[in-house]
Amino acid sequence: MEPRLVGPGPYRATRLWNEIIELFRAGMPVRKHRCRFKSYERCFKASEAVDILHELLGSNQNFGPEVTRDQTVKLLKKFLKNHVIEDIKGRWGKEDFQDDGHLYRFPPSSPLKSYPKKPSCGKEIIKFPDWNEPKAGTSQEHIPVKSVTTNSEMWYKRHSIAIGEVPACKLVFRRELTQTNIEEIWKSMTLSQLQKVLGLDSLDEVLDVKLVNSKHIVQNAYNVNKQGIVTLEDKSKELPHWILSAMKCLANWPSCSDLKQPTYVGFERDVFKTIVDYFDQMKEPLLTFHFFDVFVSVLGLLQKHSKAVEALQISCLLLPPENRKRLQLLVRMMARISLNKDLPPLSESVRTRTLMVQAFSRCILCSNDEIDLDELLAAKLVSFLMDNYQEILSVPSALKSSVEDHVIRLQRVQIKCARADTDATFPPPPFCHQISTDEFEYQRATGSQEPLAALLDEIVMNKEIPVKDKKKKLKQFQKSYPEVYRVRFPTPETEAVLFPEKTKQKPPILIWALKKPFQPFHRTRSFRM
C-alpha cells in the first residue's frame, strides 16, 4: 500500500490515523519468536516496530523526516492503548509500550476510527444594512432623477436602430457604515477567502463560523507596530516582563540587552527551561481549540507552498489578538535560536531545532479532545511556521486591499439598475459613481460614441445582412448619428470601398477570328512609272 497525501478537509486527523494504521499493518514484518522457552507465531519485537514505523512516518509526506524516534514510541503507545497492537498474551489498553525486546502482535482486526458526527452548523450569511432605504431625514425629492424604461420598440422609433431593453435606474443612498458593519465585512470576506484557498465546498465541517470574532480580525489587521507585531488594547493581557526579557535574551544571544552577561555555565539552559515552563502551564494552545481542525486542514496544503502560506496567513488572522502576539514572539524566538550558532547547545542529545519543535509544539497546537496524532501534526505545523514565520504572521495584503476597496465602494452614493444583484456581499456588485451635472453632459456627448461606433462596426462587418438591407441601415445610422458615421467613413472613397461597384465585363471579342493568318513578307514590284 503506497502512502498518499491527505488533503485539507473535515476529519483530516482521523483520516491520517486510519491511513497510518493500514500502512503499518501492511509494512510490519511478522515472524515466529521465542520467549521464555515458548514459541509465538506472527509477532514482532517492540524495537522492530519502532524502526519500521519511524521509517514509515519519515517517508510519508503527511509527516516528514523531522519525526523523531521518541515521537514514534509515543504513537506506538497510543496504538497499544487503542488495541491497534497487543502483547503476545493479548493484553492492551495501557500506554506501557517501551523501545525494547518485548513481543507484540496485531489483533485479528485493528480498529479504524469512524468519522465523528459534528452538529451541523448552518452557513452564516453576513447580513448588511438595507442599502435601498435612504437614511432617516434624507429626502430624494430635490434630485431631478426620473426612472425611465425604454424598450427596443421606442428606441427604434427614436433612433431607427433597435439595441435592446434599457433597464430602469435610480440613485441609491447608502447608509453610513458603522464599525460593526466594517467588522462583519472583514469576517465575511476573510472566511470566503479561506474557504477558497482550502478548496472546500463549506467551512462547516472544520470551523464553526459563529465562534469567529470579527473584532479580532480587524484588530489583528490594523493594530500592529512597525515590526508587524500586534499591539494590544488591554495591557493586562501582555506577556509578563520577565518572560519577555528571557525570550529576548535567548533570541539575541549573546547580546542580552535586558540582562547582564551570565557568568555561570548552563545559564542559557535555565532561561530556556523558564520559558518552556511558562508556556506549558497555559490552559489553551495559542492556536486555540476552536481552530484545531482548520490548522490541521491547512497541513494538507504544505506541498503547495504559496497556498499553505496564504491559508495560514488567513487562519492566524482569526486568532484572539493576545494569542496572535504571543505566537509571533514565540515563533520568532524559536527561529532565531535555531539559527544562532553562538548559542551553546540547549540539550546534549537533541539538536536545537528539534528541541524547539518538541518543547513548544503542544502549546501552539493541540486538540481539546484526545486525538492520537495531534503531537505529530503539531510538530509538522510548527516546523513550517518556523521556516516561514515572517510571511505567515503578517497581514495578508491582498485580502486587506480587497476589503478596503469593498468598504469604500459601499460608502458611496450609487446608481442602482433594475435586475442588479444588490444583495451579494462577495464579490461586490459593480456600480457607477455619482458625477456632477457638467461631467454628465460631457460624458453624454463623448462617452456614448463608443457603443455607437461598435454598433456601426457590427453592421459593417456582418456578412449575413443582404447588401440592400445593409445600405438601408447605414443610411439610417448616418441620418441619426452623422458625427459617429463621419468618423468611420471620413470620405466618400472609404464608404465606396465597402460596396465596390461591380463592373460589367463585356464578352471577349474573338480577335483570333478577325486576324488573318501570318503571312511572310514578300517584296513587291514598285509601280514607278
Q: pLDDT tens digits, residue range 386-426?
A: 999 999 999 999 999 999 999 888 887 565 665 555 444 44
In a domain, 486, yes or no: yes
Give yes or no: residues 379 and 470 share one domain. no
Q: Is there a contact between 288 and 294 (Cβ–Cβ < 8 Å)?
A: no
In a domain, 327, yes or no: yes
Give yes or no: residues 245 and 376 share one domain. yes
Tell me how far apart the alpha carbons of residues 463 and 466 are, in angstroms, rounded to a whole number: 8
Amino acid at 511: I
Tell me how far apart the alpha carbons of residues 237 and 444 are, in angstroms, rounded to a whole number: 59
In a domain, 516, yes or no: no
In a domain, 509, yes or no: no
How far are the Cα atoms of 116, 117, 367 from residue 11, in angstroms, in the given order?
8, 10, 12
Give yes or no: residues 472 and 340 share one domain. no
In a domain, 202, yes or no: yes
Task: Specify the pTM.
Answer: 0.65
Residues 6+ apart with CB under 8 A from 73: 50, 97, 98, 99
DSSP label of 150: B
Give yes or no: residues 378 and 473 share one domain. no
Q: Is there a contact between 392 and 385 (Cβ–Cβ < 8 Å)?
A: yes
CATH number of domain containing 25: 1.10.10.10
Chain centre to alpha carbon of residue 245: 36
Give yes or no: residues 397 and 475 share one domain. no
Query: Element (H or E) spanning 398, and its range?
Result: helix 397-410
In a domain, 223, yes or no: yes
Domain final residue pick, 383, 405, 427: 405
Q: What is the mean pLDDT of each run of 10 residues along the chain (529 residues)?
A: 69 82 90 86 92 90 85 90 89 87 86 62 46 45 42 50 51 74 94 92 88 94 92 92 92 71 79 94 93 90 90 95 96 94 89 92 86 81 93 93 90 62 45 62 63 80 83 86 81 73 56 50 50
Cell digits of residue 450:
463608443
Give yes or no: residues 88 and 233 share one domain. no
Give yes or no: residues 268 and 370 share one domain. yes
Specify the 3-state DSSP secondary structure of 103: strand
Give yes or no: residues 205 and 310 share one domain. yes
Amino acid at 188: S
Q: What is the pLDDT at residue 148?
A: 44
Give yes or no: residues 219 and 308 share one domain. yes
In a domain, 112, yes or no: no
Compute the residue count for the chain.
529
Tell me how far apart the alpha carbons of residues 210 and 190 are, in angstroms, rounded to a whole number: 14
97-131 exposure pattern, b = at least 16 Cβ within 10 A, e = fewer: bebeebbbbbeeebeeeeeeeeeeeeeeebebbee
Question: How many domains would you assign to the chain?
Answer: 3
Give yes or no: residues 351 and 489 share one domain. no
Print the SS3 string covering 490-502: CCHHHHHHHCCCC
CATH number of domain containing 198: 1.10.555.10
Give yes or no: residues 261 and 371 share one domain. yes
Hey, what long-range contacts does 192-201 have (CB within 8 A, 24 or more apart)?
A: 192/426, 193/314, 193/399, 193/402, 194/294, 194/311, 194/314, 194/315, 197/301, 197/307, 197/310, 197/311, 197/314, 198/8, 198/9, 198/297, 198/298, 198/301, 198/311, 199/7, 199/8, 200/8, 200/9, 200/297
In a domain, 166, yes or no: no
Amino acid at 244: L
Give yes or no: residues 199 and 58 share one domain. no
Amino acid at 486: R
Q: Is there a contact between 219 and 321 (Cβ–Cβ < 8 Å)?
A: yes
Domain of 486, in residue numbers: 464-493
Q: Is there a contact between 34 and 97 (Cβ–Cβ < 8 Å)?
A: no
Q: Is there a contact between 172 and 414 (Cβ–Cβ < 8 Å)?
A: yes
Alpha helical stretches, state H, 281-396: 292-298, 305-317, 321-339, 352-364, 374-392
What DSSP string runs through 116-138? P-PPP----PPPPP-TTSPPTT-
Q: What is the pLDDT of residues 347-374, one digit of tens each?
A: 888 899 999 999 999 999 988 876 667 7
End-to-end CA distance of the chain, in Å? 127
